[in-house]
């Protein structure tokens, strides 16, 4: 369901749990679907013994993909016009992530209405793992 501009105001938030206790298998699933087979995400031996990390960790794009699910659930299918993020901290197996979209503004462009959102995804310790923005077409 699409959002309606008349029902939105600056500061409104929408939050969704993206994942609880992220499994290594989901990271493998993402590697397979996206085609990014970097062993840092799936190969514990390489990642701990060669790359020097405590364990494999999620692709940033997996976190962005899950965050995108929160957004499309919020703004409706086919409504996004922009979505951009910075990866601010790594996401590890076992992490639980929650993501929030906050209305930053509403605007009209060429007769169409848009909502501008800020986006933030945090882990179970409240550490931001992703920050960003999105824009979506809304009903007028």
Partner 1 sequence: MAIDKFPVEGSHIMMFARSVGDDNQIYHDDEYAKGTEPGSVIAPPTFAQSSAQFDPDYFLRPKTGQDWFGSGKEPTGVKKSSSGGGGGGGGGLHAEQHYEYHRHIKPGDVLTGTTKPGKTWEKEGKRSGKLVFTESVTEYRDQNGELAITATGVGVRTERPVDSK
Chain residues binding partner 1 by CB under 8 A are 2, 18-19, 26, 29-30, 32-40, 42-43, 45-47, 49-54, 59-62, 64-66, 68-69, 71-73, 76-87, 90, 92
Beta carbon nearer to partner 1, 9 or 77: 77
Q: How far is the CB of 132 from partner 1 (least distance, A)?
A: 8
CA nearest to 60, candidates 16, 20, 27: 27
Distance CA 67, CA 58 (A): 13
- Tell me how many degrees the CA angle 57-58-59 measures, rounded to the nearest 5: 125
Beta carbon nearer to partner 1, 18 or 122: 18
Beta carbon nearer to partner 1, 102 or 131: 131
Distance CA 2, CA 74 (A): 8
Beta carbon nearer to partner 1, 11 or 92: 92
Q: How far is the CB of 9 from partner 1 (least distance, A)?
A: 24
Question: What φ, ψ does residue 80 adopt, rounded to 5°?
Answer: -70, 140
As given in the structure block, the two tokens for residue 137 are 């077409």
Q: How far is the CB of 8 from partner 1 (least distance, A)?
A: 18
């Amino acid at each position: 369901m699409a959002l309606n501009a008349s029902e939105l105001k600056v500061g409104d938030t929408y939050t969704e749990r993206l994942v609880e206790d992220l499994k290594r298998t989901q990271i493998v699933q993402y590697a397979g679907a996206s085609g990014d087979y970097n062993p840092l995400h799936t190969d514990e031996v390489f990642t701990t013994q060669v790359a020097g990390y405590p364990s494999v960790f999620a692709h940033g794009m997996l976190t962005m993909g899950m965050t995108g699910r929160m957004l499309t659930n919020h703004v409706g299918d086919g409504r996004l016009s922009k979505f951009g993020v910075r990866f601010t901290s790594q996401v590890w197996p076992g992490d639980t992530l929650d993501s929030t979209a906050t209305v930053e503004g509403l605007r009209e462009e060429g007769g169409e209405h848009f909502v501008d959102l800020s986006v933030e995804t945090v882990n179970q310790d409240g550490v931001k793992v992703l920050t960003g923005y999105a824009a979506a077409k809304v009903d007028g």
